[in-house]
Structure 1
Amino acid sequence: MGEFAIFATLDLHALELAQQGHTLLKGIETDEEAAEALSAFGELVPQYDGSLRYQVKAAPGFEERRYSKSVNTILVHTEAPGWNPTPSYLALHCRVQATCGSGHTELADMRQFVASLGDQDRAALYKREIEWLGHNTGGVGTEGVRRPVVERTESGREILRFSYNLLTTGQYDPPVDESVDPAELPLGSFGIHLAEQAETFFREHKVSVLIPEDSILVWDNQRMVHARSAYRDAKRHLTRYWVAAQR
């Protein structure tokens, strides 16, 4: 592929990110190729454990939790809402695709969800602050931040944070059947109401992507919420990247 064609392809992916919030890069076989391709969107930054790469693969010990290393459904959220700033983009590089026909990455535009709400609920997303817990697995992390679901920056940009699990259980990676007194939750009963509305919107408007092997799904983490369907094939293996962009 010539230099002009490479730049044209990158421009197309940048346009898709801006317009629809996500894009798919194909023909990426190695970690090095992934890092080079993602450098067009920003700088790779360390994740919870301090590494630039995180292996998303089922592992023993997480069978009863909604966690990336389980095979369970993961509910609607943005990545690292307790970080400031949150990752600009998330990227999943598929190394081994699940053969069970599931394990889809699911995406929906949070801006559209916010716009769909009634005036009172929508205003609360801009005004009511939440203690977004820091999330640290022994590497780097933060102590958390206090922000509304929709944060307006000084430049006028909107950064969205969301976690169905945090609003309904007070945890990011709870046991599958966790139940908590609403009085103990970040936004109380309103948070449960908000999470249920978001889940309903998500199921009606989501895009489901079964990422092909040797391809990278990239999405705007400050705009899109994501989830994952349950799967059975424990050989499924993706590599996750966080990308920080100046915008």
Structure 2
Amino acid sequence: MADSAELNDRDPRAERVTQAYAGNRLLLGLPDEARAALKTGLSLTALARGQVLFDVGEDVRNTYLPCRPTMVALLVVTAEGREVEAATVGWEGALGGIVSGGLKPAYGRAVVQVPGPAFVVPTARLDEMRQRFPAMGDLFTRYADAMIAQMMQSVACNALHTIEQRCCRWLLSAHDRSGEDVVRLTQEALADMMGVQRTTVTAAAKVLQSDGIIQTRRGRVEILDRRKLERRACECYGQVEAHFGRLLPEIKD
């Protein structure tokens, strides 16, 4: 695992890395005692765009907790090799062996869409910590429930709403996770995750750009008017955010 460093209390960088916990809301929401105990098994790593964290059928051995601006897509892979996004994870959460114990075969593929830092912990260590600290187990279980809600809403959105509405929903979520107005994502990657042709996403982006809502450049999308983007999106974004806030009030901004 490249660019990683194990964290422990004797590490002179401990204070700096502890401050970096703020980069992941789920870690920051842990009780102090649980976070301190987890530190001995935690590593900080740099994830590259396109990096596959785990693939279909693989035993998931590590749990990843992205930090801003990192975003990882969970993809369903068809028999023909096509990929469709089921969920996206950023600084608000984690992926890989979140609540399951023992063998954890991956159902989908986890691919880094926006590069950046992430914390990594062996899933066996996470299982041990959840049993040791019930509050930690409860937090991760509630997060898993929020992830299921995101996937369910995504199914409804893909079936019922227009490409423009879906594109706006995704950009809002990406904006939340990036922490800045510029989202480092290509239109091709966005089209792949939405399961549509790039030309379809390009057409939707042109409409949003002509209305002064976004500005597209090579490999990046700048959000110019957040309020207009929210009005153009479907209700799915707001519903998922509201549910997330009810389930995990301690890790919301």
TM-score (norm 2): 0.29
Q: Is the helix fraction higher in 1 or 2?
A: 2
Structure (1 or 2) with the greater strand fraction: 1
